Amino acid sequence: MHKLRSLSVARLAEVFNRLSKRLKSTGGRPAAPLGSRILTNHDDIFKHNMWDHVQWTEEDKENAWQKAQENSSVQIPLKEQGKFDTEACQYWDTFYETHQDKFFKDRKWLFLEFPELLPSDAQSRATNRCQDDERAEYPLSGSDRDARQQHSCHTHRHRKTDATDCQESCQMSFPGQHASFRILEVGCGVGNSVFPIVDSIKETGAFLYCCDFSPRAIQLVKDHPDYDGSVCHAFVHDICKEMASFPFPPQSLDVIMAVFVLSSIHPERMQGVVNQLSTYLKHGGIFLFRDYGRYDFSQLRFKKGRCLSENFYTRGDGTCVYFFTKEEVHDLFSNAGLEEIQNLEDRRLQVNRGKRVTMHRVWMQSKYRKP
Ligand SMILES: C[S@@+](CC[C@H](N)C(=O)[O-])C[C@H]1O[C@@H](n2cnc3c(N)ncnc32)[C@H](O)[C@@H]1O
């Protein structure tokens, strides 16, 4: 058992290092959280495809507000809106029929931004190693480091207790029942996060559940050559259906992840979804969230007539998208009884060097813990 555990840790550290090196080698871009390529000289703007931590000027803010005002000045009549909610599953299923697995890219930033996806021992060792590599360039202040260590100890102590509690109290048999660490990805699509995770958790005792309400997306996940039923269980599930049950008991998950998923859901349903999902987290378990932020380029380029309600739009294919603020994200998770670990706006400047145009991108990245 001990030997197996050390092997797993070694393998995870190796995977983490490999990922971290791969990120570092993409254009020499250092692997710091939310990126670290800072535009200091405006003349350099077309030298890279993306600049990180971009500050908006007052003019940028005013222009963005104006564009959003304009494109939401005509809203789709209420009586025509219902289908975008009731038929959301069909719209997404058709999306996957059209695009198969060719639309979204693998989420390469996954372990760098969300090291919580790795089981605790491997996570702390691999993260330490990664931080050691970067410390020279991005030193943490003493208080940041202490806070991080305290958070890490607190989380792991809770999780261990709950894992034992769950195994003792759960009489029912379920996939991943004997796992020491359980992750759920909701709205997993065709598996752009699933397969990097599966690759990393083999031989660690961890188990990944992944669901989507599109049967086609789930079939594509299951048909993938890297799908491995011994560490992963993919299933069709609509997270808006309150009565739909999950194939694991409440309080059995260490991590829940929603990446560009909650934005697809009607804003009035979001709180119910987060409340419901949170009941499946263990105490100390973490909800990881990444999604579109308010005034992202993709919001501002909507034409008039696609708006459903404030900051909520439908695309030409019938799928919907909401654009969050930091405060809304905070309310969503804290109203569900979770505590903030991180709630950030990831503001970048994307550059099309061929066309010499720039786009302001805004994404939200948040982590909330169940106390
Ligand atoms: C923008 S895609 C993101 C896919 C994936 N998370 C990724 O990062 O590549 C949104 C996904 O959420 C799924 N989705 C939307 N509403 C859902 C719901 N109510 N229940 C389950 N999945 C849903 C869609 O089918 C789609 O696969």
CATH number of the domain within which 60 lies: 3.40.50.150
Q: Give 352 Cα–ligand 1 centroid separation in angstroms.
A: 27
Question: Taking the model in full, what pTM does it have?
Answer: 0.81
Atom 27 of ligand 1, residue of closest alpha carbon: 189
Q: Which domain holds residue 147?
A: 2-369
Atom 14 of ligand 1, residue of closest alpha carbon: 187
- Number of domains within the chain: 1
Q: Is the beta carbon of 277 within 6 A of some atom in ligand 1?
A: no
pLDDT at 32: 64
- Candidates 214, 186, 333; CA nearest to 270 is 333
18-27 LR contacts (CB < 8 Å, sep 24+): 19/108, 19/111, 19/112, 19/196, 20/111, 20/112, 20/130, 20/133, 22/108, 23/108, 23/109, 23/112
Look over the chain and give the mean of its residue pLDDT values, rounded to a whole number. Answer: 82
Atom number, ligand 1, closest to the C-alpha of residue 89: 25
Atom number, ligand 1, closest to the C-alpha of residue 185: 6
First to last CA, the chain: 30
Q: Give 128 Cα–ligand 1 centroid separation in angstroms.
A: 32
Q: Is the beta carbon of 261 within 6 A of some atom in ligand 1?
A: yes
pLDDT at 109: 82
Residue pair 116/148 in contact by the 8 Å Cβ criterion = no
pLDDT band at 118 (very low <50, low <70, confident <90, very high): confident
Q: What is the mean pLDDT of residues 9-16?
A: 46
Q: Give 314 Cα–ligand 1 centroid separation in angstroms.
A: 15
Atom 23 of ligand 1, residue of closest alpha carbon: 187
Q: Is the beta carbon of 217 within 6 A of some atom in ligand 1?
A: yes
Q: Is the beta carbon of 260 within 6 A of some atom in ligand 1?
A: yes
Q: Is the beta carbon of 221 within 6 A of some atom in ligand 1?
A: no
Q: Is the beta carbon of 293 within 6 A of some atom in ligand 1?
A: no
Phi, psi of 329 (to 5 degrees): -65, -45
Q: Is the beta carbon of 289 within 6 A of some atom in ligand 1?
A: no
- Candidates 168, 169, 124, 159; CA nearest to 145 is 124
Name, of 36-40, 74-78, 329-333, the range with top average pLDDT. 329-333
Q: pLDDT tens digits for 201-245?
A: 998 999 999 999 999 999 999 999 999 999 999 999 999 998 888
Atom 12 of ligand 1, residue of closest alpha carbon: 187
Q: Give 68 Cα–ligand 1 centroid separation in angstroms.
A: 24
Rounded Cα distance between 232 and 212, Å, is 14
Residues in CB range of 164: below 8 A, 6 or more apart: none
pLDDT band at 105 (very low <50, low <70, confident <90, very high): confident
- Which residue among 183, 212, 220 is best mutated to probe the pocket of ligand 1, counting the most ligand atoms within 8 A of its Cβ? 212
